[in-house]
Amino acid sequence: MSGQPGPSGQDSEGSGRATPLGWVAQPGAGRGQLPASAPVNAPVHASPYDTEGLHGARPARDMDGLKAAIHVARAGRMVPGRGVTEARFAIETASFQLREAAFTALINLCGRLRDAPKAFEVFEAMRDYGSVTPNTYTYSSLISACVSSGDWAAAMDVFAGMKEAAARDAGCRPNEVTYSALITACEREGKSEIAMGLYDEMLGAGILPDKVTFCSALTACLKSNMWERAEEIVEDMHGRGMCATSNIYLELLQGYGRRAEWSKGLDLFLTMQMMGRDVDKHCCRALMTAFEAGGRHQMALQLLEAMENKVAADLPTYTSALRTMAAAGRWREASGVMSLILESGLRPDEEAVGVAVRACVEAGQKEEARKVVAALEAAGVVVGDDVKASAE
C-alpha cells in the first residue's frame, strides 16, 4: 500500500530521485544531525510508548496508523534498545512501502502540531529510507513546519539546502508554497529586507505570488516604510484581480493621510470598493484625514455626504472635517458639520466645540457662533466659558 497523495496533486508513487539533503555546511553537522538553528524544544504528547515501549507497539499497517504513531511520538525520544527515535522507528517498522507523498503528509502533520524537531526527524528518516528522496513538496512542508514553530532561521537553512539540491535535481525547485511560507515568516519576524529579497527571487523565477504572499510582501513594505514598493505591489495585485486585506488598505490610507497625498488616498478608496472590498468608518476617517492634510474642504464634505446612510461617521471623522472647514474659512460649512454631529447623537468634545465656534468667530460671524453655542447647550453639551466669551 502506498502513501496518500501529497500537496498540489503530487503522485504518491514518486520518482525515486537520488538527491542528497544538501544542508548548508555547518561545523559538527553530520549525517542524521539537524542544522544548528533547528528547533530543539518539542511539545510533549501523551504516548502509549512511555509505558510499553515503542518496540512493543504494533507496526503501522497503513497511513492512518502511521500518522497516529507519529502524532504521539516525542521528538528526541529514543526507543530503548533500538538506538533510534520514536518517529524514525515508527517509519522503519511500518508494514507498507512509503513514497514521497507519505513523508510529505507526515511532515505536514508535524507542522500542524508545531513540532519542527519531529518534522526534522521524519525528514531525516526519509533521506535514509532508501527508495525515496526529498523533493519540492517535502522541502516545502519542512519549511512550513519550521515557520509554524516560529523558527524562521531554521526555515531559511532548509531553504538554502533546498536550493542546493535543486541545482542537481529540478524536482527540488522551490515553488509558490515555499516562497509564501518563507516570506510570511520573515515578515512576522520583522525581517522586511529578507522578505522582499525572497519576493524578488520568486518573481525572478517566474513564480506568481498568491494573495497570501502579496499581503505578506505588502506588510513587510509598510513595516519598513518602503512606500513606493508597496504601491507597486498593490497595483500588481489589483491587476491580477486580487484584493488586499482590510487592515492593509487601512494602513495605506492612513499613510496617505500622514503624507498629505489625498489624491492617492481617494484613488485607493475608490479602487478597493471596485474590487469588492467594503469600506468602514476607519477607512473613511483615514481618507478624511488625507483631505484635511491636503486642505480639500469640498472633498471632505462630499465624503460626509457619501457616508450618509451607509457608514456611520465617528467623532474623530467629524472633527477632522470641522478642522478642514475652519482652515478653509468655511464657517457656514463648519456650523453644518456641527449640526450633523448633534443629529447623529454623538456628543462633541471640547476640541470639536472650540473649532466650530471659532470658525464662525474668526469669519466675523458672531451671531452664527452664538447659535452654535445655543444648539450645543440645548443638546446638553457643556461649552467652556472661554468659547462662549469669544462669541459675545
Return d(Cα 350, Cα 354) in angstroms, integer. 6
pLDDT tens digits along 62-92: 999 999 999 999 999 999 988 999 999 999 9
User: Which of 57, 38, 22, 225 has its CA nearest to residue 145?
Assistant: 38
Residue 306 has pLDDT above 90, yes or no: yes
Residue 295 has pLDDT above 50, yes or no: yes
Cell numbers placing 386 = 472661554
Return d(Cα 33, Cα 108) in angstroms, integer. 20
- pLDDT band, very low/low/confident/very high, at 1 (cuts 50, 70, 90): very low
User: Which of 112, 125, 37 has its CA nearest to residue 86?
Assistant: 125
User: Which of 75, 63, 66, 79 has its CA nearest to residue 116?
Assistant: 75
Angle between helices 136-148 and 100-112 (to 10 degrees): 10
Q: Where are the domains of the chain?
A: 1-25+35-162, 314-392
pLDDT tens digits along 127-175: 999 889 999 999 999 999 999 999 999 999 999 999 999 999 999 999 9
pLDDT tens digits along 308-341: 889 999 999 999 999 999 999 999 999 999 999 9
pLDDT, the chain, mean: 86
Own/partner contacts of 312-315, CB < 8 Å, gap of 24 or more, are 312/281, 312/344, 313/281, 313/284, 313/285, 313/340, 313/344, 314/281, 314/285, 314/346, 315/341, 315/346, 315/347, 315/348, 315/349, 315/352
Contact yes or no for 83/5 (Cβ under 8 A):
no
DSSP 243: -
What's the pLDDT at 16? 35
**pLDDT (mean) for 39-60:** 49
User: Which of 216, 165, 212 has its CA nearest to residue 187?
Assistant: 216
Residue 233 has pLDDT above 80, yes or no: yes
Residue 43 one-letter amino acid: P
Whether pTM > 0.85 for this model: the answer is no
pLDDT tens digits along 260-293: 999 999 999 999 999 989 999 999 999 999 999 9
Q: Which CATH number fits domain 1-25+35-162: 1.25.40, 1.10.10, 1.10.150, 2.60.40?
A: 1.25.40
Contact yes or no for 238/257 (Cβ under 8 A):
no
Angle between helices 331-343 and 366-378 (to 10 degrees): 10
Contact yes or no for 40/146 (Cβ under 8 A):
no
What's the pLDDT at 18? 28
In degrees rounded to 5, what are phi and psi of residue 312? -70, 120
**pLDDT (mean) for 345-359:** 96
SS3 (DSSP) at 85: strand
Per DSSP, the residues of 100-164 read HHHHHHHHHHHHHTT-HHHHHHHHHHHHTTSS----HHHHHHHHHHHHHTT-HHHHHHHHHHHHH
What's the pLDDT at 56? 53
What's the pLDDT at 57? 64
Contact yes or no for 3/105 (Cβ under 8 A):
yes
Q: Of all helices (H) and strands (E), which one includes residue 296?
A: none
